[in-house]
Amino acid sequence: MLIDMQSFYASVEKAKMPQYKNRPLAVAGDPARRSGIILAACPLAKAKGVSTAEPLWQSLQKCPELIIVKPHMQEYIEVSTQIMSIIEEFTDLVEPYSIDELFADFTGSMHLFGNDPIDLAKQIQDKIYNETGVYARAGIGENKIISKLCCDMIAKKAEGGIFHLKKEELHLHIGDKPIRDMWGIGSRMEKHLWKMGIRTIRDLANTPLSKLRSKWGVNGEVIWRVANGLDHSPVTVNTHSTQKDIGNGMTLPRDYTEAWEIEVVILDICTEVCRRARKKGLMGSVVSVSVSGADFDHPTGFHRQVKLSDPTNITVDVCKIAKRIFHQHWDGQPVRRVGVSLSQLSNADTYQLSFFDDQEQKRAIDQVMDDIKDRFGDIAILRASSITAAGQAIDRASKIGGHYK
Query: Binding site membership for Mg(2+): which residues?
Result: 4, 100
CA distances, 34 to each of 10, 28, 57, 250 (Å): 21, 11, 11, 12
Other beta carbons less than 10 A from residue 191's beta carbon: 10
Query: Counting beta carbons within 10 angstroms of the beta carbon of residue 212, is it exposed (0 to 12), middle (13 to 18) or buried (19 or more)?
Result: buried
The Cα 2–Cα 173 span in angstroms is: 17
322 and 289 in contact (C-beta within 8 Å)?
A: yes
- Judging by DSSP bridges, how do beta strands 25-28 and 67-69 pair with one another? parallel
Q: Provide the residue type at 94 as one letter.
A: V
Concerning whether 360 is annotated as a catalytic residue, the answer is no
Q: Provide the residue type at 362 as one letter.
A: K
- Judging by DSSP bridges, how do beta strands 136-140 and 162-164 pair with one another? parallel
H or E element at residue 28 = strand 25-28
Q: Provide the residue type at 351 as one letter.
A: Y
The Cα 77–Cα 71 span in angstroms is: 11
Of 380, 4, 345, nearest to 157 by C-alpha is 4
Marked catalytic residue, from 95, 101, 263, 272: 101
Residue 288 bridge partners (DSSP): 305, 341
How is 145-212 classified by DSSP, letter by letter? Answer: HHHHHHHHHTGGGSTTSEEE--GGGHHHHHTTSBGGGSTT--HHHHHHHHHTT--BHHHHHHS-HHHH
Which residue stretches of 5-55 are H helix? 8-16, 43-47
What DSSP state is assigned to residue 12? H
102 and 235 in contact (C-beta within 8 Å)?
A: no
Residue 176 bridge partners (DSSP): none
List, by residue number, the catalytic residues: 101
